[in-house]
Amino acid sequence: MEISLTINGKNYQREVDETKNLLHFLREDLGLTGTKEGCGAGECGACSVLLNGRPVNSCLVLAVEANNCEIRTVEGEAVNGELSDLQKALHKHHAVQCGFCTPGMIISIRALLEKNPQPDEPEIKQAIEGNLCRCTGYKQIIEAVLDLTGQLDQKEELTHA
């Protein structure tokens, strides 16, 4: 079936197998490999994308279901190669270790910030609850978001140095 959709502001028209999920469509058909596959079963969040502004696990969405939709992936986060403030904050706070969860994490945080520009810690935790990270223990990710939203000074700053 032929589908038409907007991804990171760019329009795509493609013939796609009706059984193909959105994740594989993005990765295999369009070469947008920033979105990752950690389980293919809706359990890890590595494949998160925004579908009409809502975060979804793209492994659970069929590509045909995204027909006429607007999709945003990690590749849409930096503008003209310049890191977004969110990307800068994650980088600065060492909130990225192996990086495999990062694209999905960025999408979930982006969705949160669009709804709620000053999320508190429980709200941040809730927003990324579906994004498993095995490396960081989440603390530096949460700190990055607090810093980005101007709230880190209220918290205890990292005292490691």
Partner 1 sequence: MSNSVVAPEQKEKQRAEAGLKYVGKNLERQEGIPKVKGQAIYIDDIQPEGCLYGRTVRSPEPRGEIVDIVFEPGIPWDEFVIVKPEDIPGENICAMIKNEIPFLADDEVKYKGEPLALIAHEDQQMVDRAINHITVKMKTDGYPAFFTIDEARSKQQVQYGEDNVLCSYQIEDGDLQAEFDKADLIVENHYKTKAQEHLYIEPQGIIAEVVPGEQVTVRGSLQCPYYITGALANLFAIDETSVRVIQTTTGGAFGGKEDYPSILAGHAALLSLKSGGRPVKMVYGREEDLLATTKRHPSDTTVRAAFDKQGKMLALEMDFALNGGAYPTLTSTVLSRGLLHSFGPYNWPAVNLQARAYMTNSTPFSAFRGFGAPQSIYALELLLNEAAEQLQLDPAELRRRNFLQPGDSMPTGQVIKEQIDLEQLMDRALEKIDYRRKKQEFAVFNRENDYKKRGISLATFFHGSGFTGDGEEKLASRAGVKISSENPLEILVANVEFGQGIHTGFVQIAAETCNLPPELIEVIEQDTDKVPNSGPTVASRSTMVVGRLVQDACEELVEELKNTAGLPDDFTTEDFLAASKNYLNSYGELYKEVQHHDPPEEQWDEENYRGSAYSGYAWSCDVVAVELDMIDYRVKITDFVSTVEAGQLINPDMAAGQIEGGIVQAIGYTLFENVVLEEGVMKNNHYADYIIPTAADVPSIDVEFIEFPLKNYGPYKAKGIGELPFDGPAPAIAGAVALALDKQFITLIPLLPETIHDTLSKLEETTDA
Q: Using CB under 8 A as the criterion, which residues of the chain lie in contact with partner 1 when the complex forms?
A: 27-28, 33-41, 43-44, 46, 73-75, 77-78, 83, 87, 90-94, 96-103, 106, 124-126, 128-142, 158-161
Least distance (Å) from partner 1 to the CB of residue 55?
A: 14
Amino acid letter at 80? Answer: N
Least distance (Å) from partner 1 to the CB of residue 156?
A: 8
132 neighbors 47 (Cβ within 8 angstroms)? no
Binding mask 15-54 for ligand FES (x = CB under 6 A): ----------------------xxxx-xxxxxx-------
| CA–CA dist 28, 37 (Å, integer) | 12
Question: Within 13 Å of residue 102, how many CA atoms lie on the same side as its CB?
Answer: 21
Closest CA to 90 of 138, 157, 36: 138
| CA–CA dist 48, 148 (Å, integer) | 21
* Binding site partner of 21, from partner 1, ligand FES, none, Cβ cut-off 5-8 A by kind: none
Closer by beta carbon to ligand FES, 47 or else 50: 47
106 neighbors 74 (Cβ within 8 angstroms)? yes
* Binding site partner of 57, from ligand FES, partner 1, none, Cβ cut-off 5-8 A by kind: ligand FES
Closer by beta carbon to partner 1, 4 or else 139: 139
Which stretches does DSSP call E strand in the chain? Answer: 2-7, 10-15, 48-51, 54-57, 70-72
Closer by beta carbon to ligand FES, 9 or else 62: 62
Structural Rg of the chain based on CA atoms: 16
Residues found near ligand FES in the complex (CB under 6 A): 37-40, 42-47, 57, 59, 96-101, 133-136
